[in-house]
Amino acid sequence: MAYIQQVLFLIVFAAAAYLIARRIVLIKKTIQLGKSDDRTDQPGVRLKTMLRIAFGQKKMFDRPLVGLLHFLVYAGFILINIEILEIIIDGLFGTHRVLAKPLGSFYPVIINFFEVLALGVIIACVVFLIRRNILKIGRLHPSSSKEMKGWPAMDANLILIFEIALMMAFLKMNAADSILQSRGVGHFAETQTGSFLISSWLAPFMEPFSSDILQFTERGAWWFHIVGILFFALYVTYSKHLHIGLAFPNTYFADLKPRGQMSNMPAVTKEVKIMMELEQPSENEEEVGRFGAKDVEDLSWKNLMDAYSCTECGRCTSQCPANITGKALSPRKIMMSTRDRLEDIQKGWLKNGYDFKDEKSLNGDYITEEELLACTSCNACVEACPVLINPLDIILQLRRYNVMEESKAPQSWNMMFQNLETNMAPWKFSPDDRMKWVSE
């Protein structure tokens, strides 16, 4: 029986590892669609930023209660799954609680700590489910946020329910194990760890069951826990919860320039300098490529990593003045639409090969002109994001394409552009009169 379990475990583990690795390679290739962007400067500053924002979750604590609950789920889930190392060893070699003897009296301390965290994760997930579905927090509920209708809302609920189920399986497994140890049943009698702090609350409910049922319960919970973790690891690569892994590189490679400093196109900057006689034209001018961004290939790889790192928490949208006043713009939707475009390209690759091309583009088919024009460039969304995503950078590049390539700009903008070109100011008066107000 143990031999069959080992073979089955090896098959499940190998299949999960293959599928996860395949998905990671595909996501990496998709991110590499973006243009190059050097983010290797100031490694010390970048490391501190990553540790403070991603590991320490500093910006989550701008809202203390939610930040604490999120940290509990994050830290609890990560630390509890250290135990997966023991489960993998047990599964591969047919052992039972292989680390119990080497760790001795410290082993129950570790498991008790994990159980307290598991209870914390369950409580936090229940609170989050209540916030989403009963309290109907605006930025999280489909009734207030159109982009959260359908799959995004279901995805968030599924993850929370799944985390509760995994933690319950962990506690149930420990409760059945401790009862079987006390009864001296089979190999359970060989590893005496005693009862554990939280799972012991379940023991009175399970005590009336026969040893056979308890063994089935313990093995069922064990299998559910390990298969659930492997499934979860695969599932998050298709989910908004990919931020669990990508938050770290995304914050490390975040833009270190001051917020509000826009990236100008070198070719355009040079033309302006030539116009202002600050620079002379050169004979061998390089041909200018596309102005702005029409599709994801025109964005940088960091913009695409931002899209995959989005947690869909809605903090950006809740702080956006355009959205608050009823405009079409939602910074969260900008990131979700960018990821949707990347996912559609992936589907095309899988079906037709990496030469796949379609007639769609991010600019127009996924993100509308109305959304782009509503943005005030205030950086509120950038400031609000807990993992340093920059929706504004994508908006500006898409808007730049509309204005400079497609000549799609409101008439008031065209008047301003003309004034800038002729008067070097947004207002329609002569540069000679610019300082006249001082003397008056």
The per-residue pLDDT for range 77-112, each reduced to its tens digit, is 777 777 788 888 888 888 888 888 888 889 999 999
Residue 329 lies in a domain: yes
Q: Residue 297 above 70 pLDDT?
A: yes
| Domain total in the chain | 2
| pLDDT higher than 60, residue 1 | no
Residues 319-338 have a mean pLDDT of 95
Strand partners, 35: 300
In a domain, 401, yes or no: yes
For residue 2, name the pLDDT band (cuts at 50, 70, 90).
Answer: low
Does residue 126 sit within a domain? yes
The verdict on 94 and 147 lying in the same domain is yes
Contacts 24+ apart (CB under 8 A), 204-208: 206/175, 206/176, 206/179, 207/179
273 and 387 part of one domain: yes
Q: Residues near 344 by Cβ (< 8 Å), separated by ≥ 6?
A: 358, 360
- Tell me: pLDDT of 328 over 60: yes
435 occurs within a structural domain: no
Domain co-membership, 324 together with 180: no
* Gap between the Cα atoms of 184 and 189, Å rounded: 4
Residues 207, 325 share a domain = no
69 shares its domain with 46: no
Q: Is residue 250 part of a domain?
A: no
**pLDDT digits over 394-435, tens only?**
999 999 999 988 888 888 888 888 888 787 788 877 777 777
231 and 126 within one domain: yes
Range of the domain at 184: 2-10+63-240
Based on the fold, state whether residues 94 and 37 are members of the same structural domain. no
Same domain, 183 and 225: yes
The identity of residue 201, as a single letter, is W
CA–CA distance, 276 with 45 (Å, rounded to integer):
37
Task: Quickly count: other Cβ atoms within 10 Å of residue 308's Cβ.
Answer: 22
> In percent, how much of the chain has pLDDT > 90?
56
Based on the domain organization, do 43 and 163 belong to the same domain? no
Residues 92 and 190 in one domain: yes
In this structure, is residue 187 part of a structural domain? yes
- Is residue 182 a part of any domain in this protein? yes
Token pair belonging to 251: 């914050």
Question: Do 176 and 42 share a domain, yes or no?
Answer: no
Does the residue 131 lie in any domain?
A: yes
Same domain for 388 and 323: yes
